[in-house]
Each structure stands twice: as structure tokens, then as C-alpha cells.
Structure 1
């Protein structure tokens, strides 16, 4: 598997702004308006969110964030691989990093929300392969036919 350099990011670079614009655009394209839970860049800068980027040399490969829900529970947000890096382990590297951060913080559980339709299938497969299982909605999420909530005990 390819090696990526993962670092905390302040969300000021153009490369990450472009990847997050793509992420939000696709979420709006693939999701009903009421089911777009992707955070805009301003919200990703909030104190309860820590944002990371994965780099292949000087090329941005992926991003992801960990939002603190409470002292023992975190949520994965804005997991996205650049289209040029899909299927090359960038998403897996980011997921592994975020789970490591969650463990270091003392979280006992990490959860996420994603979509059920086909465009979300690669993400769901990645999460399932890494121990995430479907769960009841958490936080502000509500049960519907589009979204799926998943969780993993650490």
C-alpha cells in the first residue's frame, strides 16, 4: 500500500478548498437536500472538529475530520479521497489515522453517517471492512430511506 503523509490541516490551502468544494458538490448532486450532512469549510474549522489531510508528496490525496460528540464518542466527517487517489489506499490511510486519534483521545466509539445509494457504496465497503456496523441514528440524525448511520467500538 502507498505511504501517505497525514497532518492536521488549518483548511487555508487552495488544494483542500477545491477538494471540499468537490465533496459538497457531489453530496448535493447525490443526496436529497434534507440529507446533505457534509460540513462547509467554515464549520470544519470549529473547535469541536479536528481536520486532517493525506499527502502523496506535494499532492493532496485525501481528507477527513474527527468531530467530538462527547468525551467518549467521536464522529467521522468529510472523509474524501481525491478522484485521482480513489482505490489507492488514501481513504484507508485517513480512516486508520482518524481511528488512531480517536483511541488517543480515549474515545470508546466512533460513528458516522453516509448514504445508502450506489455512489456511497465504496465508502460503506471501506467502513464495513474496518469494523463499522449499521446503528440507530445518533446526534441530530434522523432515520430515513437515504442515510445510514454506522458505528464502531474502539
Structure 2
């Protein structure tokens, strides 16, 4: 698998983000959807990554890092394509994000995910990679439909 920075303009990436947003609207109450659209993912303080399977160069997944503070970043838009699920894409992408954040000198990596069963596999993935539940961070407020998680880096 090859992980690249950028590629928001790729049609497969656009399709995966559209699918991600659709699923968020189908599984979470509107007031608890914190997913970013393509414009948000390309905004200031954002770094977007896409994972491509080799040798066929099919999109396997994506994720982004959002700078909250100089040494604190948030994971956004973590998504594995349906065709690549169960192949370790999410773990590889998460390890990449941890590595990038660490290399940038970040000391904290955080995320928000849902409480619904739909998000259970994601919560297990984050726990396996050293994340623990935490209070809301950044501009988030307490939300009974959200789970906030963080991991210390360095």
C-alpha cells in the first residue's frame, strides 16, 4: 500500500468522501455529525492523505490531520473503501498518521467518533493503537452521541 498526501481532486477520493458523509448522515443525529466535506478537508490547517493498493492503484482509504494547536492534531475523515475492508488499511493509515504527527513534533493526537454500533470497529481500532477516551477537545462540546479519544505522542 502507498499512502500519499493530497489527492482531494481525484475522482475516487471524491466518491469515498461522498460515501463517508452519506453514511454519517444515515447513522448519526444531524447535530452530532462532525464530518468534513471536501472543502473542509482542503481548508487551512488540514493535511489530507489517501491510501492506494498496489499494484492496481485502487483507492483503499483516506484520512486527514487537522491542526488544533501547534502540538495537538485531530484525525478527520478516517475511512476505508468497501473493497479494502478487512485488509489492514485502517491500521496502516492510523500508524501513518501517528508517524506524521510525531515527526511534526505533536504531543497529542485526538479524534471524535460516534457511540452507535456502526462505529464499534473504529473505537476498537483506536483503543488497540493506544487511544483512550477523553473529554471534548478543541471546539467540541459534550455530546451523548460522540466518543472523544486521545493519545499522547513522543
Q: Give the whole-Å Cα distance in 2 for the aligned partners of 1:101 and 1:131.
A: 16
How far the C-alpha of 1:87 sits from its partner, in A, is 1.5
Residue of structure 2 equivalent to 1:32 = 29
Partner of 1:64, secondary structure, is: strand
How far the C-alpha of 1:122 sits from its partner, in A, is 0.7
Residue of structure 2 equivalent to 1:140 = 139
With the length of structure 2 as denominator, give the TM-score of the two structures. 0.96
Q: How much is the aligned-residue C-alpha RMSD, in angstroms?
A: 0.7
In the alignment, structure 1 residue 7 sits paired with structure 2 residue 26 = no
Aligned length: 151
Q: Does structure 2 conserve the Cα–Cα contact (< 8 Å) formed by 1:39 and 1:78?
A: yes
Deviations 1:51-98 (A, max 9, x none): 000000210000000111111100000000001111110111110111
Q: Give the whole-Å Cα distance in 2 for the aligned partners of 1:144 and 1:65.
A: 22
How far the C-alpha of 1:9 sits from its partner, in A, is 1.7
With the length of structure 1 as denominator, give the TM-score of the two structures. 0.96
Residue of structure 2 equivalent to 1:66 = 65
Alignment gaps of 5+ in structure 2: none
How far the C-alpha of 1:27 sits from its partner, in A, is 0.3
Q: Does structure 1 conserve the Cα–Cα contact (< 8 Å) formed by 2:130 and 2:151?
A: yes
Query: Superposed, which structure 2 residues align to 1:1-154 within 5 Å?
Result: 4-57=1-54, 58-154=57-153
Deviating runs (4+, > 4 A) in structure 1? none
Partner of 1:65, secondary structure, is: strand
Deviations 1:113-141 (A, max 9, x none): 00011000010000000000000001111
